[in-house]
Structure 1
Amino acid sequence: MRRVWAVLLTEWMLAGCATLGRPTKTADLEPLHQAQWQGRISVNVQGDAPSSMSASFFLRGDASNGELDLYSPLGTTVGALQWSPQFVQFNDGSKHQHFHSLAELTEKATGAALPIEALFGWLDGLDVRATGWQVDLSNISQGSLSARRSTPKPEVTLRIKLDP
């Protein structure tokens, strides 16, 4: 009987160490050679109601079809963003929210509307222009980039550090 309890206790402890899987993904977002990046992202919004967001991330796809998972320092999923020509959605673990645009989606997730199309170019080291944004790619070969939006207000600072 002791052996049974020891096995059950061990299985219970191992189950407690397991992490929850990533949210179920849509099949059309899984091409064979999908671009992907991971690292840390921070977004700081100035103004009357300043806010700050920082998370680990895993980004796949492109500006048309993609996914962005955001993780807490403990590795739990804070939010899962998905977009395609058919939908734009955010899952925070308790509910799915649908949006009309990527700007609305990124504002919900990070506190600021991010220029997703330009962001994919920046991650590839391309100096893609985005209205109101200035990007610093001088450290992109070391996996770092920063961008600042001065217009429209409020001012937004985006920093990304890619994992090697």
Structure 2
Amino acid sequence: MTRGRRQALLLLVAAALAGCASPPRRPAKPDQGYWSGRLGLQVHDDPPQSISAAFELRGSPEQGELSLFTPLGGTAAILSWAAGTALLREQGKEPRRFPSIDALIAEVLGAPVPLAALFDWLAGRATMVPGWTADLSRQGRLHARRTEPLPAADLRIVLETP
């Protein structure tokens, strides 16, 4: 292969990789209803289930959007909600509607997660939820555990910092 062809091939590969890259995510800004980072959820069921993804969360418990990203930075799913409706958009699939964000979260994550409390926990407020305990002791980190109803679940979030 000639030097010119090799350079052209390298340029083509670099351009292709740049096209696959995702823009850098913004740091957490809880005062503006925006958080980003990594989340992991383990559901201790039979068989056990787990999900791990980068995320961006915008809005409030009443209206908002949760974007989940693949390890390579592509968008895996976008969950959006408003009063009385929730929508799931997944890469390469038709959008699906749900009657509530709680039903949508349970479908996508494999376990219910208390959304209103999650917004509070991310903002550093220790909201109590029956069956859940949340550890907010580490800045920029959340560990919430559901012990009842079964199956038990562990939610871990690490926020990107500004």
Q: TM-score with structure 1 length normalisation?
A: 0.80
Give the equivalent residue in structure 2 for 1:54: 52
Structure 2 counterparts to residues 5-154 of structure 1, below 5 A: 14=15, 17-19=18-20, 34-95=32-93, 96-139=95-138, 142-154=139-151
User: Structure 2 CA distance, aligned partners of 1:49 and 1:39?
Assistant: 27
SS of structure 2 residue aligned to 1:18: helix
Quote the sequence identity (%).
38
Query: Displacement of 1:94 after TM fit?
Result: 2.2
User: Structure 2 CA distance, aligned partners of 1:67 and 1:128?
Assistant: 21
Structure 2 counterparts to residues 150-161 of structure 1, below 5 A: 150-161=147-158
Q: 1:20 to 1:91 in 2, by over 3 A?
A: farther
Query: Displacement of 1:10 after TM fit?
Result: 5.7
User: Structure 2 CA distance, aligned partners of 1:123 and 1:71?
Assistant: 19
User: Structure 1 CA distance, aligned partners of 2:78 and 2:70?
Assistant: 12
Q: What's the C-alpha RMSD, in Å, of the aligned pairs?
A: 2.4
Query: Displacement of 1:86 after TM fit?
Result: 4.5
Matching residue's letter, 2:58: R
Matching residue's letter, 2:141: S
Query: Displacement of 1:17 after TM fit?
Result: 2.6
Matching residue's letter, 2:45: G
- Contact kept? 2:22, 2:74, Cα under 8 Å: no
Query: Displacement of 1:13 after TM fit?
Result: 5.9
- Contact kept? 2:22, 2:73, Cα under 8 Å: no
Q: 1:46 to 1:17 in 2, by over 3 A?
A: same
User: Structure 1 CA distance, aligned partners of 2:88 and 2:66?
Assistant: 9
Matching residue's letter, 1:150: T
Matching residue's letter, 1:132: G
Q: TM-score with structure 2 length normalisation?
A: 0.81
Matching residue's letter, 2:152: E
Bigger mean CA deviation after superposition, 88-97 or 75-84? 88-97
Matching residue's letter, 1:152: P
Matching residue's letter, 1:77: T
User: Structure 1 CA distance, aligned partners of 2:135 and 2:17?
Assistant: 43
Bigger mean CA deviation after superposition, 77-86 or 12-21? 12-21
